[in-house]
Amino acid sequence: MFPGARDPNAPEAYDLSNFTVLVVEDSTYMSTLMASMLKAFSVGDIMECHNAKEAIEVLTVTQARSKSRFITNVDIVLMDWLMPGGSGEELLNWIRCHSKDEIKFMPVVVISGFTTEKIVAAARDLGANETLVKPISAKGLASRICNVIEHPRPFVNIKTYFGPDRRRQEQVINFEDRRKTTAEEIQVVKKK
């Protein structure tokens, strides 16, 4: 194959021109960088907020008016974790506890400067679909967006958790399964 030639077996490039992505990031530099990267990925509409409070106001309007011809729905939220004036934790909690389906099921990618597993685990336990640790790279961001599009996990609703299924794959276990939940105790709901 000639250098630069397209691999005939590679999947087609997404047309993201109808997508709206909300970037919630307090740093102007990082926010501008992320918006430019998304534009390079061909995302049609990019909205920027600088903290959780602003994002809550934007989402309340955009998602409530989902049938409006003039206000676009947000498709994916990219959020920083630590932000003065309303953190990512606060925003993610608000999203997953919301009464409206248009908000509570939204795909959320948490981007964090923290390198500790503790923060990644906290984001996952609050219902983040994906996490990405800074320094941000184009490949990393593209792969998280791709995962959100191609591999959305079903949502789990239990007393202590609401969010995407935290198990990413079926695991074969070679020992006695001690989980107490029986098939009758799992209710599968198909949303339209």
Partner 1 sequence: MKIQLIELPNRLLDKMGLVKKDDLNVGQVDPKGIAEAERMVENLKKECPAAISGYLEELTKAWEDMRDLPDNDERAELSERIFTLAHEIKDLAVLSDAHLTAYFSESLRDYIGETELNLEAQRVIIQAHVDAMTVVNKQQLKDAEGEMAEELKGMVKIAIDKYK
Contact residues for partner 1, defined by CB under 8 A: 10-16, 18-19, 26-30, 33, 36-37, 40-42, 75-76, 82, 84, 105, 107, 113, 134-139, 141-142, 145-146, 148-150, 152, 154-158, 165, 181, 185-192
**At its nearest, how many Å lie between partner 1 and the CB of residue 57?**
20
C-beta closer to partner 1: residue 87 or 92: 87
C-beta closer to partner 1: residue 158 or 174: 158
What is the Cβ-side half-sphere exposure of residue 97, based on CA atoms within 13 angstroms? 10
**At its nearest, how many Å lie between partner 1 and the CB of residue 116?**
11
User: What is the crossing angle of helices 88-96 and 117-125, to 10°?
Assistant: 20
Phi, psi (5° rounding) for residue 179?
Answer: -65, 135
Rg (CA), the chain: 18
The SS3 of residue 121 is: helix
C-beta closer to partner 1: residue 3 or 11: 11
The SS3 of residue 112 is: strand
**At its nearest, how many Å lie between partner 1 and the CB of residue 173?**
18
C-beta closer to partner 1: residue 27 or 93: 27
**At its nearest, how many Å lie between partner 1 and the CB of residue 61?**
19
C-beta closer to partner 1: residue 17 or 174: 17
Nearest to 17 by CA among 42, 48, 51, 54: 42
**At its nearest, how many Å lie between partner 1 and the CB of residue 180?**
9
Query: Rounded CA gap, 60 and 1, in Å?
Result: 50
Structure tokens belonging to residue 56: 């809550």
**At its nearest, how many Å lie between partner 1 and the CB of residue 15?**
6
Query: Rounded CA gap, 77 and 144, in Å?
Result: 11
C-beta closer to partner 1: residue 172 or 174: 172
Q: Are 84 and 30 in contact (CB under 8 A)?
A: no
